[in-house]
Amino acid sequence: MADAGLPTVEEAMALGLTRGEYELVCEKLDRPPNQVELAMFSLLWSEHCAYKHSKKLLMTLPTEGEFVVMGPGENAGAVDVGDGLVCAFKVESHNHPSAVEPFQGAATGVGGILRDIFAIGARPIAVLDSLRFGDPGTSERSRFLLDGAVSGIGHYGNSIGVPTVGGEVYFEEPYEQNCLVNAMALGLGEREKLVRSAAAGIGNILVLYGASTGRDGIGGASVLASAELGELSEDKRPTVQVGDPFEESKLLECSLELLEAGLIVALQDLGAAGLTSSASEMASKGEVGIDIDVAKVPLREADMEPFEIMVSESQERMLCVVEPGKLDTVIALTDKWEVHGTAIGTVTDTGQMRIFRGEELVGEMPVVALVDDCPLYDLDPAPPAAPIYPPPTATLDPAADLRQALLALIASPNIASRRPLFEQYDSIVQSRTVRRPEESDAAVLQLPGGRGLAVSIDGNGRKVAADPYRGTIGVVLECASNLACAGAQPLGTTNNLNFGNPEKPHIAWQLTEAVRGLGEACRALEAPIVGGNVSLYNEGASGPIYPTPVIGMVGRLPDVTRAGRLGFAREGDAIALVGRFSPALPASELARLRGEALPDGLPDVDIAAVRATQEAVRDAVREGALSSAHDIAEGGLLVAIAESCLAGDVGATLDLGACEDAWSALFGEAPGGFVVSGDPSAIARLAEHTDVDVIGAVGGDRLHVRAGDGEANATLAELREAHRALARLFP
């Protein structure tokens, strides 16, 4: 290789490497890197690809369990759902690309997470999303980001024929400049036919298939997600990837047919860092070398340089390892699906990543140096010396009474019906969907044999900002409570950790404490982490986002016909408050409407007690004993009851009796509380297993509540009109 024109250390730093990291690269190569090598090192050693500020923390999480079939390290995790089937699932972020170009950022986020699912041999069956924006009612930027992201998610999922069955969206001021777009996908596959991504077999051939390679997305996800948005000037921002769901549909079917026929040894999708990441990681996992000839890569633009080809993030591409004797059959099958399979390299015993352009060697790096020897950093966590986040803007009159507070909460963007958003998604394609959005706390999908699969995705950045450790525990418990209301037992968990700049001590403290809480809660629930993603540097000139660990959890239920619903169903049913519920107003949605600053900490949580309540509710739902089950979350008890009234189109009368603090009792928030309804005898049986307090009955055309000396009364029509607040933004 010629050494003329080698990049300088300044150019390396412009690509994201520190001076020390550049010197380490020189040491690993025993020489300065050339342009191709520097591009590959800079991306694989980026935060997005290497997790260099979070990997040590992630190693503390529980990853093994009774139902775990495939854990972290593969394209997606997988859990056993019985009868030889597994559910593959994972959540990932596309935050920074969506902040630059929301439609394509969100669309390609969906495309990428779907490829992770079928890359292990599972057919995608559902998508969920977790979104965060500023206030779309007052901010043109937030409205632009919201519209673009929702349209992008709907476009990709609807076009490829995978239902979007659930999710969440919240609007808070710290997300004004840095939105969050997290996408989760699930798939079903046969346990014995799963494939891993480790390259194997010296002399085997690498086949690239799918879309041709262009300059779109060069450095996209890896560069954007490894720096604060404010640090990226317009001329340094890479292009956001452009997705084509119809191309991905062909890619999906081709991949599954290749796997079904036993034609490939290993399979990997091309996401962040493109060929660089996929090929190098396959080589690392297989402890082999790989040679690639970039002259053989099908290009969209003929004059692309070798480094551009290696780091392009063009979408809808897969890389597989094929035995030489099966190459012609593989190429014929890719031709059948019109995804243009091309042999571009071979598996070697050199332990090197060697990049050729025809006969010319343009890059040579040890796989271990490229993938495994990225420096991992110890964080320097320290609690903030002063509040990080200013109080939210107050929108509720301080003199508001209980009724006014209820209507304001029901109309809050964080609680109001998301129907104008989720109606843009096809939630029933594939005909598996049993519980759609606003029908149950968790989405429910049908499995063969009448069994069911439930899935939930949750986050609460405000609570985590108040107390990263206890707030994260609360998020995990909320996810499991959603499954319990559907009648599902947790099998495994995925997570996406969205935080600010980890090089700052207060952000490092948030991240460290959140991971500690995540691990503790998942151990207690026996719902291990099977995979996930970390998205750091989510901050700009106005400061960091709320620390936002997003949790996805999958569970199963034995009889899908008994999947729980959140809506009240029968006049005369008793309404009960279930669980050791100790509500508090600090960091609640009511506190946000009042403009109150975040508290310095949250109350302790008895995880074992919450789990016991979840199991009691889950068992009662499975027995068909309850007419409805709904966990108490944002807005507190009275909002949960109002939501059950609206979902069932029936009123309720409540009496909480003597109450020292009606506001906390009605609107306070805490993990572990449920609102259920059913025959009084069924409620009495539930009381044999957990704390139960009968507080009212279903019936009428209004919600009426007494709590101590306080009283609130609102008709269903008034509640429904308030609940449609988001719809008024989408005429």
Q: Which residues are identified as catalytic? A: 48, 94
Give me the residues paired with residue 445 across strands. 433, 453
Biggest alpha carbon–alpha carbon distance for the chain: 86
In this structure, the dihedral spanned by the alpha carbons of residues 428, 431, 436 and 441, taken in order and rounded to 10 degrees, is -140
- DSSP H helical segments within 81-219, as ranges? 95-100, 102-118, 140-160
Identity of the amino acid at 520: E
In order, the DSSP letters of 668-731 are -B-TT-EEEEE-HHHHHHHTTTS-EEEEEEE-SSEEEEEETTEEEEEEHHHHHHHHTGGGGG--
Strand-pair category, 443-446 with 433-435: antiparallel
CB 33 within 8 A of CB 7: yes
Dihedral sign (CA 208, 274, 188, 197): positive
CB 669 within 8 A of CB 638: no
How far, in Å, CA of 271 to CA of 293, rounded? 19
Give me the residues paired with residue 543 across strands. 540
End-to-end CA distance of the chain: 62
In this structure, the dihedral spanned by the alpha carbons of residues 662, 665, 666 and 670, taken in order and rounded to 10 degrees, is 150
Q: How far is CA 331 from the centre of its chain?
A: 34
Pick the closest to residue 582 from 488, 468, 710, 693 (CA basis). Answer: 693
How far, in Å, CA of 197 to CA of 530, rounded? 16
88, two tokens: 């593959």
Work out the angle between the directed axes of helices 274-286 and 35-44 (0-180°, nearest 10): 70
How far, in Å, CA of 413 to CA of 137, rounded? 9
| SS3 assignment for 184-195 | EEEEEEEHHHCC
* Cβ neighbours of 561 (radius 10 Å): 10
DSSP class of 5: T
User: In this structure, what are the phi and psi dihedrals at residue 44, rounded to the nearest 5 degrees?
Assistant: -70, -25
Pick the closest to residue 44 from 503, 507, 368 (CA basis). Answer: 368
CB 501 within 8 A of CB 544: yes
How far, in Å, CA of 36 to CA of 167, rounded? 40
Element (H, E) at 594: helix 589-594
Give me the residues paired with residue 544 across strands. 539
Element (H, E) at 131: strand 123-133
Give me the residues paired with residue 365 across strands. 353
In order, the DSSP letters of 420-474 are HHHTTS--STTS-EEE-TTTSSSEEEE-GGG-EEEEEEE--HHHHHH-HHHHHHH
In order, the DSSP letters of 627-670 are SEEEE--TTHHHHHHHHHHHHHT--EEEE--S-S-HHHHHH-B-
Instruction: Sort residue 210 into left (φ over 0), alpha (ψ -120 to 50) or beta.
Output: left
Pick the closest to residue 229 from 621, 500, 603, 597 (CA basis). Answer: 500
* Cβ neighbours of 546 (radius 10 Å): 28
136, two tokens: 């779309």
DSSP class of 41: H
